[in-house]
Structure 1
Amino acid sequence: MKNINNIFLSGLALFSMLFSSCSDDLEGIDENPRNITQEQLEVDFQNVGSLYKPMFENIYQYTPPWSYQLQQNLNADVFSGYMTNPRPFVAGANNTTYNLVSGWNNFIWSVPYSNVMNNARTIENETKDEFPELFAVSQILKVTAMHRVSDVFGPIVYTKFGASATTSEYDSQEEAYTAFFNDLEEAIQILSDNIDSPRFTAFDLAYGGNYESWIRYANSLRLRLAIRISKVDAAKAKTEGEKSLSHPIGVMESNADSFFINGTLDHPIKTINNSWGDIRMNASMESILIGYDDPRANSYFSETVPGDNTTVPVVPGSLKGVRNGLPLLPGYADELAQKADYITFAVLNDNVLTSSVQLMTAAEVFFLKAEAALRGWSGSGDIQGNYEQGITLSFQQRGSSGAAAYIADNTSTPQDYVDPINSANNIAALSTITIAWDNAASNEEKLERIITQKWIAMFPEGQEAWSEYRRTGYPKIFPVVSNQSGGIVDTNLQIRRIPFVDSELQTNPDGVAGAVTKLGGADNAGTRLWWDVPGGNF
């Protein structure tokens, strides 16, 4: 994004045109846009089928790239410790320094509501009774999108979406998660009962109409959500997690089971990274990947060569990250001058920015199973075996060799970070955790190993990485250089959520007021979500 302020204004104008008809209850979003006859459905399902592609491609929005930049890249991708922006947008007063730009954050809410929730409701109305398997897939996609929204804001409009003509009532996050589990349970059962139906094949951008694969994904997603609530509701978490682990079809076991959206467009980060130069490797990634001498580092990132307009002393052959939350530093005339130096740091590698967009991998599932075993859930298997298989599958996914030697490494640790431009940004590594499994370690240390390796394996999916960081505190990522939240966000605890968006405050004030009472704290970026329980993990 060459000028995010101008593009944001254009995007806001577009947003206003798209949603000017919305009333207090997202009216227009929840209306059926077509009159689909039963006869048309029975021919080839094309009318209802056309609603799935927007659902796949707007879990986060593929195009235009600036929409994704606002929906996820300038929040979760950065807050996770994966990436950061070399340009200090808005003179350094932006999301990455916790001076949240509310207009940017509207997209986190509006995109999935307009393109996922709306379409899921139409599909439900048109297919649930006669063609339940089509409904079931839409439910899985709906949970995929909306748990991410809840993990940003907390309470969301979910079970009562479109139920009122005057207001949109929010569920608490606990209520939303209960609904997620119920929706996944129903979808899994429907697909199990219709396992050989070919009806979804023509519309499937993930599994080619294979319902066994969809069931494995839905079970894996349920396991993810169960682990997510394990600190706040251990009994519910165990029950839901064990449903997935004991299911006859089970969870993901191989890289072929991973959930990728196989579209025709490259990952939107590719434009943000390559064409605009608006995102680079985060210093936390450098500290951990280079400290571990991780062979996947060169699959994730590539060295850039300083141009003639910079004097940055980047060491050839190195992968250099940027500290998160940089203000406009002294000595730079403006944002672009600072960007000219930091843009020379490591770029994301094109092989993680393909048209097959990663949302969940088998490697992640093995790390989930490792934590489930650590928590004593039945059917989860051996902790160490799951941990090491998660690493092995991640290496295989990235085409990296040396997994066995990496797994056996009991000496390498994250390294200190050195900024070759400004030594004030230097910082010592925050962890001494090693790679090799240690059965004698405490449960807390074992969990740090599991989450650190899961964090590496999930790249570049920043939303899930940020959620897991908030839940566990791992991996230990560097705090922002400049905290401009005015005391709302603790620098060491880091940002916990995004406040409710302007579009909702303006059109649904009663709904937002009710949501705040369910939040359990002030509507700001320092308030923890329901599952974000302070203190240790055990």
Structure 2
Amino acid sequence: MKLNTIKRTAICVSLLAAVSCTSNFEDINTNPNGITPELYEQDFNHIKGSFAPMFNNILVLTPEWKYQVQQGLQGDIWSGYMATGTAFRGGTNNTTYDLVDGWNGFAWGAAYGDVMFNAYNVEQKAKGKYDQFYALSLILKVEGMHRVTDTYGPIVYSKFGTTDATIPYDSQDEVYNQMFKELDLAVAELTKRVDANETSTFVTTDLSAYKGDYKQWVKFANSLRLRLAMRIVKKNPTLAKTEAEKAIAQKFGVMTTNNDIFKVVSPTYTNPIATISNAWGDVRMSADMESIMGGYADPRLAVFFSPSVQFPGQYKGVRTGIEIAAKADHVDFSGIGAIVNSKEIVLMNTAEVYLLRAEGALRGWNMGGTAQSLYELGITTSFAQHGVSGVATYITDNVKTAKAYVDPNFPANNGAAVNNVTVAWDAAAANEVKLQKIITQKWIAGFPEGQEAWSEYRRTGYPKLFLVLKNTSGGKIDSNLGVRRVNFVQSEKDGNPGGVATGVTKLGGADTGGTRLWWDTTGANF
């Protein structure tokens, strides 16, 4: 992955887009305005231009088809959030575990072509001179790239920007260690500026809801540290505890109110899921969501999904990994609801942070509260985020569980409920049951951000999801385990084959969707 070809590589990975590729890409230091460097550097214009592509490509906001292949037909499906009734590639595709290389390169291409590339550009122009911008770019880089390593495993990270013939991959533990150090730097730099009452120079550049507020960015960085710490808990519990407690102990702490939510606020683009669901009819509510949220009679259901057209007043989901004869078979089931009819794309919410803290407390860490109190705060905060009432009743319900799934059009797709835990906290329950409750509620609260939900499902095994009924992986992916990762991308195999070889070695298994990542160990949760 050579720096002078990365933008071209990122564009050329497309299989679905009718685009042509050219070698006429501008150098990262080209002055786009034809003015003197001194004038261009006024108000940090030479740096600010790199931020919008980073914000807009953590999740690709436009065009919608690119989001669909970046995440819609990966994490959104494998997390159990959504399902499709469209028989892409004749019904043999990611949803039936035959991973499509032409789709799966887009998560890599967007991350390197827009997030990593622009973070490198900011580093070259701002590090040691305008370190507030460097710090902010590091937080965005970690937010964007942890998703990539959690998709593929080993990735190009520490050696990005070198011009060697072979660019080696870092192992996942190496990537995580570097990310923790980058968050250390960012938090220290921005905290210093808050303490000095420095006026933010990021106000007009900030596409989040934080409006350039350095303190808010520190709280997000701490929350992101907590997420990463929990991810590695089964492989390096000592480091996980240290990093998690560091996040809580930092003077500004983690996200605690819904005003702290990290979201990209787009001036023009609505969440691409709205188009994919409502205009194209390519995604529908999943059978898992119907089973779990429907079984709980969860009031958030009406915000997350729209009632079925075929069965008015009902919420009907589609099971993933089924035989699909025609799109019309399920297109009138429940689409994705009002939650995606917005120009605000949530990448991390405060409910998740409370539920991460609940798990930490369950493990005996100092999280600033008990497991039960933080668990209930997480649910309460999620209800408040969506303007939904009834949390007091919901949070104490120790009767309702997930319900069986019934496909009224095709009974062969029916399935008995599998995620059989109630909502109410049970102090006498085993830690494994308590964890299942926590992760189930985190899964609900995180909707519709499927990448994170897929990662947590792989890490913990929760919530329990319906198995696919049609597995076309040719034995590469176990139906009982689901997709564990995405294959290394073809553009890298063509342009950096030696680097890919280092990645396969560090992966420690075959380059298939069935090989577990470093943190995705077979070990017990406790």
Q: TM-score, normalised by structure 1?
A: 0.92
Aligned match for 1:398, one of 381, 386, 394: 386
**What residue is the counterpart of 1:200 in the other structure?**
202
| 2:516 is the counterpart of 1:516 | no
Q: CA RMSD in A?
A: 1.7
**What residue is the counterpart of 1:292 in the other structure?**
296
Instruction: Give how far 1:168 is off.
Output: 1.8
After TM superposition, the structure 1 = structure 2 runs for residues 282-431 of structure 1, keeping only pairs within 5 Å, are 282-306=286-310, 314=311, 316-328=312-324, 332=325, 338-431=326-419
| 2:463 is the counterpart of 1:464 | no
> Do the aligned partners of 2:308 and 2:314 also contact (CA within 8 Å) in 1?
no
Instruction: Give how far 1:303 is off.
Output: 1.2
Q: Report the CA distance shift for 1:41/1:364 in structure 2 as closer, same or farther (over 3 A).
A: farther
After TM superposition, the structure 1 = structure 2 runs for residues 7-406 of structure 1, keeping only pairs within 5 Å, are 9=15, 11=17, 13-14=18-19, 17=21, 31-34=28-31, 39-40=38-39, 42-195=41-194, 196-206=198-208, 207-264=210-267, 265-306=269-310, 314=311, 316-328=312-324, 332=325, 338-406=326-394
The 2-side partners of 1:83 and 1:10 are apart by 21
Instruction: Give how far 1:42 is off.
Output: 4.7
Identity fraction in percent: 52
**What residue is the counterpart of 2:493 in the other structure?**
505
Q: Report the CA distance shift for 1:130/1:8 in structure 2 as closer, same or farther (over 3 A).
A: closer
Instruction: Give how far 1:378 is off.
Output: 1.8
What is the letter of the counterpart of residue 66 of structure 2? S
After TM superposition, the structure 1 = structure 2 runs for residues 433-452 of structure 1, keeping only pairs within 5 Å, are 433-452=421-440
Instruction: Give how far 1:240 is off.
Output: 0.8
Q: Report the CA distance shift for 1:503/1:327 in structure 2 as closer, same or farther (over 3 A).
A: farther
The 2-side partners of 1:31 and 1:488 are apart by 41
Aligned to 1:156, the other structure's residue is in SS state: coil
Q: Report the CA distance shift for 1:41/1:210 in structure 2 as closer, same or farther (over 3 A).
A: farther
> Do the aligned partners of 1:370 and 1:386 also contact (CA within 8 Å) in 2?
yes
Post-superposition Cα deviations, 1:302-350, rounded to whole Å, max 9, x if no partner, equal 01323xxxxxxx3x2110000001233xxx4xxxxx2112100101113
Matched residue count:
507
Poorly superposed stretches of 4+, deviation over 6 Å: 35-38
Instruction: Give how far 1:46 is off.
Output: 2.1
Q: Report the CA distance shift for 1:167/1:33 in structure 2 as closer, same or farther (over 3 A).
A: farther
The 2-side partners of 1:41 and 1:213 are apart by 28
Post-superposition Cα deviations, 1:109-149, rounded to whole Å, max 9, x if no partner, equal 00110001111111111111111001100100000000000
> Do the aligned partners of 1:281 and 1:348 also contact (CA within 8 Å) in 2?
yes
Aligned to 2:263, the other structure's residue is in SS state: strand
> Do the aligned partners of 2:397 and 2:424 also contact (CA within 8 Å) in 1?
yes
Q: Report the CA distance shift for 1:232/1:283 in structure 2 as closer, same or farther (over 3 A).
A: same
What is the letter of the counterpart of residue 485 of structure 2? R
Instruction: Give how far 1:379 is off.
Output: 3.6
> Do the aligned partners of 1:30 and 1:162 also contact (CA within 8 Å) in 2?
no
What is the letter of the counterpart of residue 297 of structure 2? D
> Do the aligned partners of 1:41 and 1:48 also contact (CA within 8 Å) in 2?
no
The 1-side partners of 2:414 and 2:231 are apart by 33
Q: Report the CA distance shift for 1:487/1:249 in structure 2 as closer, same or farther (over 3 A).
A: same
Which shifted more, 372-381 or 341-350? Answer: 372-381
Instruction: Give how far 1:365 is off.
Output: 0.2
Instruction: Give how far 1:351 is off.
Output: 3.0
The 2-side partners of 1:37 and 1:383 are apart by 58
What is the letter of the counterpart of residue 276 of structure 2? I
Q: TM-score, normalised by structure 2?
A: 0.94
The 2-side partners of 1:63 and 1:238 are apart by 38
Q: Report the CA distance shift for 1:132/1:236 in structure 2 as closer, same or farther (over 3 A).
A: same
Post-superposition Cα deviations, 1:358-385, rounded to whole Å, max 9, x if no partner, equal 1000000000000010111124421100
Post-superposition Cα deviations, 1:210-232, rounded to whole Å, max 9, x if no partner, equal 01100000000000000000011
The 1-side partners of 2:39 and 2:192 are apart by 24
The 2-side partners of 1:199 and 1:321 are apart by 46
Instruction: Give how far 1:515 is off.
Output: 0.4
Q: Report the CA distance shift for 1:400/1:93 in structure 2 as closer, same or farther (over 3 A).
A: same
Q: Report the CA distance shift for 1:510/1:29 in structure 2 as closer, same or farther (over 3 A).
A: farther
